[in-house]
Amino acid sequence: MEKIDFVLTWVDGSDPDWLAQRREYQPGRGTDAGESRYRDWDNLQYWFRGVEKFAPWVNKIYFVTWGHVPKWLNTAHEKIQIVKHEDFMAPAYLPTFNINSIELNLHRIKGLSEHFVFFNDDMFLIDSVKPEDFFKNGLPCDCCIETALVQDNIRNPFANILMNDAALVNMHYNKKEVIKKQAKKWFSPAYGAMLFRNVLMLPYREFSSFKYSHLPSPFLKATYWKVWDEEGAVLDEVCKNRFRTVFDVNQYVMKYWQYMEGKFTPQSPKLGRFYTIGKHDQQIHDTIRRQACKMICLNDDVNVGDFEKQKKEIQKSFEVIFSEKSSFEM
């Protein structure tokens, strides 16, 4: 079995040194730099408890950070590698407060295995996962489900970024030829009823977008190198944006490239669930406490209500399944 590494990005939005540096680079128009992009929910310890309990097979954990680390983190742990932005990103991209810039350069992390799974710090394992949940026969497991892109908030740049991802893919691949070549993967029964989305999107000449599954994502490092080789100028420009903008592409372009090349194994979309804090509070607590799926994403939002209260309630739910410290904690 190939080695599989986990990559986790994290920022401490309360660090005074980080805040001082951020103030030096005031975000411009068209950027997304709200508080919810950086605030800390004080639940990262549950990420590490989840990995130790439910994915003990992981090879290495690359903890990507501006420079700060949680005081409780056991940085001497044999599986943890602390990686600062300056360790793998070009000086021209630094300092950065743009997660897209960080994500697009993950393949440059020294020692990172060819097969890796990327986590944002709002993604958690809440039940046992196997290597085969992420890679089969050397290929990433994913659900390639095409969808129409809808924007419901003029101030949210994310839909624009997904549109840019699809546009870049459309510049390189012919939809009809891709689907013909990858028909078995495109219409896999693993997708369940969602495979009919791919049927319904057939009349559209180009790819609109793909199902947004903000969950841990498996990647091949070779895909990153290929996309950089073919669209380096575009990615370089994105990486120079200090903050996330409507003109960016993100790591989903790597995912889409894997779809186009057929370098993925079809997977059920039911492996994990995505929830937004403040909108799906009861579902969040029920899913964690009942371990109703293997992975969960707790998306931050500007409208979470009482932040401190929400934070404590989420911690209580995590304590139900993660009451004991992991060896990653001092």
**For residue range 311-321, what is the model confidence (pLDDT) as tens digits?**
999 999 999 99
pLDDT tens, 266-308?
Answer: 999 999 999 988 888 999 999 999 999 999 999 887 777 787 8
Rg (CA), the chain: 19
Mode of pairing for the β-strands spanning 31-32 and 244-245:
antiparallel
The ranges assigned to domains in the chain are: 4-321
Give the pLDDT score at 30: 52
What is the average pLDDT score of the chain? Answer: 93
Phi, psi of 72 (to 5 degrees): -85, -10
- Which CATH number is correct for 4-321, 3.30.519, 3.40.1400, 1.10.287, 3.90.550? 3.90.550
> C-alpha distances in angstroms, 299 versus 20, 50, 81, 182, 303?
26, 18, 26, 32, 11
Please, are residues 142 and 258 in contact by the beta-carbon 8 Å criterion? Answer: yes
The dihedral through the CA atoms of 20, 245, 113, 80 has a sign that is positive
Task: Tell me the mean pLDDT in the region 122-127.
Answer: 97
Using DSSP, state whether 219 is helix, strand or coil: strand
